Amino acid sequence: MSTKHSKAAEKFLQDSKMAAWHNETLWMVRAKRDKMSKEVPEWEELRNKACELKLYSNSHLEELLQEFEKNATANGAIVHWAKDADEYCAIVYEILNEHNVHHFIKSKSMLAEECGLNPFLMERGIDVVESDLGERILQLMHLEPSHIVLPAIHIKREQVGELFEKEMGTEKGNFDPTYLTHAARKNLRHLFLNAEAAMTGANFAVASTGDIVVCTNEGNADMGTSYPKLNIAAFGMEKIVPDLDALGVFTRLLARSATGQPVTTYTSHYRRPREGGEYHIIIVDNGRSTLLSKPDHIKTLNCIRCGACMNTCPVYRRSGGYSYTYFIPGPIGINLGMAHDPEKYYDNLSACSLCMSCSDVCPVKVDLAEQIYKWRQDLDGLGKANTGKKIMSGGMKFLMERPALFNAALWAAPMVNSLPRFMKYNDFDDWGKGRELPEFAKESFNEMWKKNEVQGKEESK
């Protein structure tokens, strides 16, 4: 019953040291999130409020987006609407081409990844530079992000040192993170100063003010937009929040959930064009409005892209981001992929143990595991249900509908405990490759219950 995910995960696990490091590092981030959340007495109240605000925003999208457009336009911005990825890319290119831009710098944007903006522009002769350190490392390595907040989490510092030696002429064998960060800073400073236009994504868009809000730790968004006269921002329409009071709820949750910090180093508000310049804002749909018509999955639009679900997910931590076929991995990526194209991304549904940890840590209470379970129920209707799993489920159904047969199986199960190890741990047993199989209990719960019931009756006489 191999899937695309399981095959890719098997490849990732071949480097056992790297796999263990990946698992432990992300769990450390999860532990930092737990520590930070416990320091906020009203944490659960904040989560509830954030969920309510998101549900309100998503049910009032039209009026909030129109309010945003009105206020942003009054601030001097030029607002565009894009129905899909093609239109989004075309609008960005049209703006850049109109201003004869050849050197373009941008901060991290998952929307740009979603819509394939970088290759689209580069194919048309525009040099695109990623200014986020992790994104820049991956760009130089010609790799995609494997995490939405920590894009290069799977890259070790030795690899970065070798890359910078080749690309920036750094000292051979110097893998010190501080040294490498300074080298990247020096290299990017030149690119910042020579950029002809800059672009940011948006963590939030505030309807009442027309603000674009970007949260970073490196300050690269501010650096990128400070020099060029032409700036562009783009956001998926679910990023809208009603006002600054609502924004305050989300900023208290975002950094704590994402990296275990009380707040990001920079929370920047972009409102007006630079003097003598232009500021363009692109509001993108790309399937989001379709998701509004799916009651079982509308809460997916609550997501604020903190990555907490990835940091806690035992499957993601142990299989890596590249084992998923959608560009966003982990629990939220499974759901977004299915919302985007279930025929293409159904395979990712197998990458979930339904442990519910993702739902427990989500700061905006997206019921991620429950939604994955619901998507799985749709697989047979899509003609994508795994044949082996269907046969297995049919066998379990057959067994459980026949009490005598089921009890016989329970009686016989402990015999497996005495089998030679090679019969239990072999190429047919994927589960046992990375863990010890639990032994069958010598006595079933049903048998224990009956014994206790008889004993209880005798004692009551």
DSSP 278-315: EEEEEEE-TTHHHHTT-TTTGGGGG-----HHHHH-HH
**Local confidence band at 241 (pLDDT 50, 70, 90 cut-offs):** very high
80: helix, coil or strand? strand
- Contact partners, residue 132, CB within 8 Å, separation at least 6: 107, 108, 151, 216, 218, 220
Give the mean model confidence (pLDDT) for residues 109-124.
Answer: 97
Burial degree of 245 (CB within 10 A; 0-12, 13-18, 19+)? exposed
Least confident residue range of 134-138, 172-176, 426-430: 426-430
CA 262 to chain centre: 20
Per the DSSP assignment, residues forming a β-bridge with 230 are 197, 278
Task: Give CA–CA dist 150/218, Å, rounded.
Answer: 13
Residue 194 tokens, joined: 């020579």
**Local confidence band at 264 (pLDDT 50, 70, 90 cut-offs):** very high
Number of C-beta neighbours around residue 139 at 10 A: 18
Percent of the chain surpassing pLDDT 70 = 97
**Local confidence band at 454 (pLDDT 50, 70, 90 cut-offs):** low
- Contact partners, residue 5, CB within 8 Å, separation at least 6: 319, 323, 324, 325, 347, 348, 350, 351
What CA–CA distances, in Å, run from 160 to 15, 153, 163, 166, 181?
18, 12, 5, 10, 10
In 114-217, DSSP assigns E strands to 127-130, 197-200, 204-206, 211-216
Task: Give CA–CA dist 270/202, Å, rounded.
Answer: 10
Least confident residue range of 58-62, 74-78, 140-144, 407-411: 407-411
Look up the CATH architecture of domain 40-155+196-289: 3-Layer(aba) Sandwich (3.40)
104: helix, coil or strand? strand
Q: What angle do CA 312, 316, 321 make, to 5 degrees?
A: 130
68, amino acid identity: F
Task: Give CA–CA dist 358/307, Å, rounded.
Answer: 10
264, amino acid identity: T
The residue among 245, 229, 349, 253 whose CA lies nearest residue 302 is 253
**Local confidence band at 150 (pLDDT 50, 70, 90 cut-offs):** very high
Give the mean model confidence (pLDDT) for residues 320-346.
Answer: 96
Q: What is the pLDDT of residue 285?
A: 98
Task: Give CA–CA dist 31/195, Å, rounded.
Answer: 39
Number of C-beta neighbours around residue 451 at 10 A: 11
**What are 287-319's pLDDT values in tens digits?**
999 999 999 999 999 999 999 999 999 999 999
**How high does pLDDT run on average in the chain?**
93
249: helix, coil or strand? helix
156 phi and psi, to 5 degrees? -85, 155
The DSSP code for 420 is: -
Where do we find the tokens 């079933």?
444
Domain boundaries, the chain: 1-33+307-401, 40-155+196-289, 403-460
**What are 71-93's pLDDT values in tens digits?**
999 999 999 999 999 999 999 99
The residue among 103, 82, 120, 275 whose CA lies nearest residue 190 is 103
Sheet holding 211-216, edge to edge: 240-241, 204-206, 211-216, 266-270
Q: Are strands 266-270 and 211-216 parallel, antiparallel or unpaired?
A: antiparallel
CA dihedral 33, 36, 37, 43 (to 10 degrees): -140
**Local confidence band at 1 (pLDDT 50, 70, 90 cut-offs):** low
Burial degree of 290 (CB within 10 A; 0-12, 13-18, 19+)? exposed
Burial degree of 100 (CB within 10 A; 0-12, 13-18, 19+)? exposed
Task: Give CA–CA dist 417/197, Å, rounded.
Answer: 67
Q: What angle do CA 190, 196, 198 make, to 5 degrees?
A: 90
Give the mean model confidence (pLDDT) for residues 341-357.
Answer: 94
Residue 374 tokens, joined: 């619901």
Which helix (H) or strand (E) segment holds residue 114: the answer is helix 110-115
Task: Give CA–CA dist 48/28, Å, rounded.
Answer: 25
